[in-house]
Amino acid sequence: MQVVTTLINKLNSAPLTQSMSQTGTAFLVGLCYQKGILPQNNFRRAPLPLRNIATDALNSAFALRSRGCFACPIACIKKADVKHSAYEGKGMAPTYLAIGSLGVNCGITDLTTIGMASMMCGEMGLDPVATGGTLATVMELVEKKVITPEELKIDLRFGNGEAMVEALRLMATKKGYARRLGQGGLAVAKEFGRPEVFMGVKGHSLSPFDPRAIQGMGLHFATCNYGPHHLFAYTFIDELLNVHQSLDPWEIGGKPLLVKEYQDTTAVMDSLGLCNWPLMGLKFNNYVPMVNSCLGTNYKADDLLFIGEKIWNLERMFNLKAGFDRTHDTLPERFIKEPVPDGPAEGQVSRIGEMLPEYYHLRGWNEQGEPRPETLQALNLEV
């Protein structure tokens, strides 16, 4: 209890965890927008009015109430009421993920619509990142006239929030054409012969961070065993928020090491059943006494990170056997060949090709991204 009390006091005095307590993860919206990280219109750009979705707007759009996980001092989960001329609801307020994936990346900035879409996803078991990614893919196909709203029987254009809410209902209940949308963005893009319009890796949609404007996150997206989800390596804690070290999101120096460290750390924390958000106020080392007090062990931080590295490599071996290889450790061409056209990150492209060899080297993998025999031996993972 003494260890826990010390950690809670540390968390309560950390400025960023206080921001989380006020508006949940939505506080990231403004910061990501300022650095060109917040994706718009399927990871292209659009002059969207941020003031409608900024933190202040969130407070006035919903009567926010806190509802954290059990005993968490941060309580980042926010409850809200949605009141819109076309729909009403009660549930979780939109998070950064929902605002990014279901909102801005679909050209939608009306917070009540985003809030409704987010609540519907929660209630109907739809993942907001995958669902938003699928809808953004379809919207771009409509914009490019590859598919027509008449074929879809829903007017799914960028910015049409009411059509998106309707599409969610149809997807979840497998009605009409939306049944096919429920197969996911990659399947829809392939069906129309335009797989390059799907912004994903290993079949999963990207979390709403433009990898051209946050290079470490881009490397993580390309190499993550699960697919491009930020929850498996919170590199933005240092690339954007500068909590433990100050790194420029647009630069690549130090990013392969950063990505490896966050991936290994997250593997340990997931295994311990710990939430990763407190890393915005605590260092990984701070958790070690808590683990030892609980388990009666005498671990050092390096012992736990060794276990994290072992987990990451075991997952990698599973993926290799399942048919994923070096060619899947990449990003959609848009991020590599099309510079950000305007805004704060204008001109940036992902430099994944420069970072990947160093990342493989740090992991002890060969040029094909396979763990070397000596790496597996050192991790006690030989077969």
Interface with ligand SF4 by CB under 6 A: which residues? 68-69, 72, 74-77, 275, 277
* Matching residue, tokens 């209630």: 123
CB of 275 to ligand SF4, least distance (A): 3
* Matching residue, tokens 């012969």: 193
Q: Exposed/middle/buried for 265, CB within 10 Å: 0-12, 13-18, 19+?
A: buried
CB of 49 to ligand SF4, least distance (A): 28
CB of 70 to ligand SF4, least distance (A): 8
343, 47 contact by CB (below 8 A) = no
CB of 69 to ligand SF4, least distance (A): 3
CB of 17 to ligand SF4, least distance (A): 8
CA dihedral of residues 383, 307, 71, 297 (deg, nearest 10) = 110
Side chain identity, residue 373: P
Nearer to ligand SF4, 14 or 320 (CB): 14
CB of 25 to ligand SF4, least distance (A): 8
Q: Please report how many Cα atoms fall inside a 13 Å half-sphere around the Cα of residue 116, on the Cβ side.
A: 22
Nearer to ligand SF4, 75 or 241 (CB): 75
Report angle CA 87, 89, 91 to the nearest 5 degrees: 150
Alpha carbon distances (Å) from 159 to 41, 102, 136, 150, 371: 9, 10, 10, 17, 45
Nearer to ligand SF4, 74 or 201 (CB): 74
Nearer to ligand SF4, 17 or 109 (CB): 17
Nearer to ligand SF4, 4 or 75 (CB): 75
Report angle CA 74, 75, 81 to the nearest 5 degrees: 145
Nearest of 354, 356, 374, 355 to residue 364 by alpha carbon: 374
CB atoms near residue 67 (< 10 Å): 14
Side chain identity, residue 172: A
Q: Counting runs of H as helices and runs of E as strands, what totals does the chain give?
A: 19, 5
- Taking the C-alpha atoms of residue 232 and residue 187, their distance in angstroms, rounded to an integer, is 24
Nearer to ligand SF4, 208 or 218 (CB): 208
* Collapsed DSSP state (helix, strand, coil) of residue 113: helix
167, 102 contact by CB (below 8 A) = no
Nearer to ligand SF4, 7 or 219 (CB): 7
Nearer to ligand SF4, 77 or 320 (CB): 77
Nearer to ligand SF4, 69 or 362 (CB): 69
Question: What are residue 107's phi and psi, to 5 degrees?
Answer: 75, 15
